[in-house]
Amino acid sequence: MKSDWWRGAIIYQIYPRSFLDTTGDGIGDMPGIHRKMDYIKSLGVDAIWISPFFKSPMQDYGYDVADYRTVDPIFGSNADFETVISSAHERGLKVIIDMVMAHTSDQHVWFKESRQSRTNDKADWYVWADPKPDGTPPNNWHGTFGGPAWQWESRRRQYYLHHYLKSQPNLDWHNSEVVDAMFKEVRYWLDAGVDGLRLDAITTLAHDPELRDNPSRVVDERYVQPIQWQEWIYSRDQPRTLEVLAELRSLTNQYKDSYLLGEIADVDLIAVSAKYTQTGKHLHSCYNFALMEPDFSSSFLRRIIERTESVLGSGWTTWAMSNHDNIRVVSRYGSSADLQGNVQALAKVLLAVLLSLRGGACIYQGEELGLTEAEINFDDLRDPWGIEFWPEFKGRDGCRSPMPWSSELPNAGFSQTKPWLPISKEHLRLAVNEQEKDPDSVLQSFRNFVNWRKQHPALVLGNLRIVDSNNPVLAFERSWEGEDILCIFNLSNHDASHDLKGDWRPIEVHDFCAPVDEGKIRLPAFGGWYGMRPK
């Protein structure tokens, strides 16, 4: 029997390096996740997604996999991960792992063999290409982390493709042997009890076999990386990707309640999400980056929601406002003049918006605390992307700083020794122990809201219709099997109002109970209001 548990599910993302260290090496680990499983359960979420923990040289902190079947020793052992799975399942939580399928580490045994010659057994397992007559790379594709997407290998006298670091060579998914080998890695973890896969950078899975040049785009002064100067029509989202995803879906359908969530970035996010999920033969849902933009307003959100609703159709998306690759949402959106002010109130309303949209939602560890982006000095940087493009782009370390568990313990209770990234002093007042004591904290607000949301199928599964409103107000209806809920938000740091049309009765929701005066809802700064149409 299969269920659609993932529809409307709230998924809690864990970045294991920064969650909890139990061994005293300054790096979070599997026993740390197990130790905090009751905390995760208390949030009311449906599943956990754990960022890569496989054996890796950690050039890109786990997204460069050297052995898909082995937990890297810094995180513990395979037995430790088995404990995480069992402890999650005991609490009714699903477990999703981050599968990096488009590329491996250059330390993987497959690549070590492949790079030796053009005739070995793994010679065609990666994307290799001859140079142009002048010795330059075969085309103009750029890597995300700077420079060409090609690296020279003198032993083969060829270039290999890498969309990210040169230590992350791309597998050739046009090769059936690669497909078979990688699907065995997938089976290994599904057999171990994993409930779902979050597919990293899935639009880079397959490449244009003709290796055609990407066309240029109009250069914006905001573009600080060469890759932004191209339209990625040949290096992303290729027809072969859909073919592979259909095969992968057939594989995962053999497992009860299995789930495929694809990360969609570097493309038309909404259109590609629709293409990958509408048929029911590819992905269950797409991890949507549309709300990761630096600009934020009710009009921006309205445009994103309206386009999603018009394009997605029967497809399904999973929304996120924060993750391990982007500036934390309260800092990213809070930089706008209209959103500066009460950071705690901003965090609450953003979480309410996220959990009221049609689709699933990913909550990144610390988002339930309203954590801000940590300021990391250049000397403390670990992210190769930030080191390469500093200071215009400071990298991803600011959103990866350790979880603050206690304001009263050394290193915020994350570790007994110096953490791999510094603890933000600003995060101490936002630590879990401090928010547990405060009934008005972001943490308590999140728990209350999640519990209330579960009681209303319209918010979990329902259709969505945008309601006319004036900036800075965002309004929409959610409807499911006779239940209609009106959701209204003030996305500004000053009071606003909204004309209430129709027969709506207010719902008492923690933190979102604005007064109604002569048909107008009086919304405080970062306030919200929910109403239900009488049946």
167 within domain boundaries? no
Predicted TM-score of the model (pTM) = 0.96
Quote the domain boundaries for residue 189: 10-102+176-451
Q: Are residues 402 and 510 in the same domain?
A: no
Q: Are residues 426 and 505 in the same domain?
A: no
Number of domains in the chain: 2
Model confidence over 294-315: pLDDT tens digits? 878 899 999 999 999 999 999 9
Q: Are residues 511 and 438 in the same domain?
A: no
- The Cα 201–Cα 479 span in angstroms is 33
Active site amino acids: 200, 263
Segment 391-401 shows an average pLDDT of 92
Q: Are residues 433 and 497 in the same domain?
A: no
Residue 329: C-alpha distances to residues 18, 335, 347, 370 (Å) = 18, 10, 8, 9
pLDDT band at 2 (very low <50, low <70, confident <90, very high): low
Q: Are residues 504 and 386 in the same domain?
A: no
- The Cα 512–Cα 352 span in angstroms is 9
CA-wise closest residue to 378 among 406, 360, 397: 397
Least confident of 41-45, 138-142, 366-370, 514-518: 514-518
CA-wise closest residue to 356 among 463, 253, 270, 268: 463
29 within domain boundaries? yes
For the record, the structure tokens of 66 come out as: 């050297």
The distance in angstroms from the start CA to the end CA of the chain is: 33
- The Cα 516–Cα 497 span in angstroms is 9
Q: Are residues 483 and 406 in the same domain?
A: no
84 within domain boundaries? yes
Residue 211 CB neighbours (<10 A): 18
- The Cα 394–Cα 355 span in angstroms is 29
Model confidence over 135-191: pLDDT tens digits? 999 999 999 988 999 999 999 999 999 999 999 999 999 999 999 999 999 999 999
Segment 419-436 shows an average pLDDT of 97
